[in-house]
Amino acid sequence: MKRQLKKSVVYALYGISFMLLVGGIALLGFATRGSGKDKYSYVSKGILDYEEKVPVVSPSSKINRPYTDTGISIVKSFYDYQAEAKEQEKSLIYYEGAYMQSSGVSYSRESAFDVVAILDGKVVEVKEDETLGNVITIEHENGITSVYQSVSDITVKQNDEVTSGQIIAKSATSNISTELGNHLYFELIVNGLCVNPENYYDKLVNEL
């Protein structure tokens, strides 16, 4: 006759077996974490949790022309002291019986065209001048200033922040150069000196 175990003893054996199983799994997990501690300890922060964030490096600004329309030509060049006499004559402005050297470039087209900012910057002055026509002056980085004369339909005001290529006015006329008709007279100033804009277009600001 076979001897049967009491139910209480069976339950006790099941309980002991379950506790041993749980304990074994816990020990195995602890041992596994311990062995991989050095391997994964360097992952201490999320991608966006670093206190020191490194900014994305963007390319330096490029100096653009003060217009984007086609069919525009130069009708009065920048006066170059090193140019030949004939070229210098073409860069003189005659007004009220006197000749003046052109410190900028006059761009013209039969019909009015959009005038745009050559770089990001801040408008420091917008004024009406009886001789020069309306004038917009914008300061940019690295000691660069751009001046737009003989314009109309101005869309900016003093202290406005502008972006490169933004339309700021339209070409118009001025009393100092009535013979040029519709045009934009543009000056580029670098570190306090007027320079020939034609030599600076498409250059990066950090190359100046």
Kindly report, residue by residue over 112-145, the tens digit of the pLDDT.
Answer: 999 999 999 999 999 999 999 999 999 999 999 9
The reported pLDDT for the residue numbered 19 is 62
Q: What residue type is assigned to position 47 of the chain?
A: I
Which DSSP letter does residue 184 get?
Answer: E
| Domain boundaries of the chain, sorted by first residue | 73-207
Percent of the chain scoring above 90 in pLDDT: 62
The overall average pLDDT reported for the chain is: 82
State which fold the 73-207 domain adopts.
Glucose Permease (Domain IIA) (2.70.70)
User: Residue 46: what are its φ and ψ, rounded to 5°?
Assistant: -75, 170
The reported pLDDT for the residue numbered 5 is 47
54 has a pLDDT exceeding 70: no
What mean pLDDT do residues 100-109 have? 95
Burial (Cβ within 10 Å: 0-12, 13-18, ≥19) of residue 194: middle
The reported pLDDT for the residue numbered 176 is 92
Give the Cα separation of 70 and 78 in Å (integer).
21
The reported pLDDT for the residue numbered 51 is 47
Q: What is the pTM of this model?
A: 0.71
Give the Cα separation of 147 and 174 in Å (integer).
15
The reported pLDDT for the residue numbered 206 is 87
The reported pLDDT for the residue numbered 95 is 87
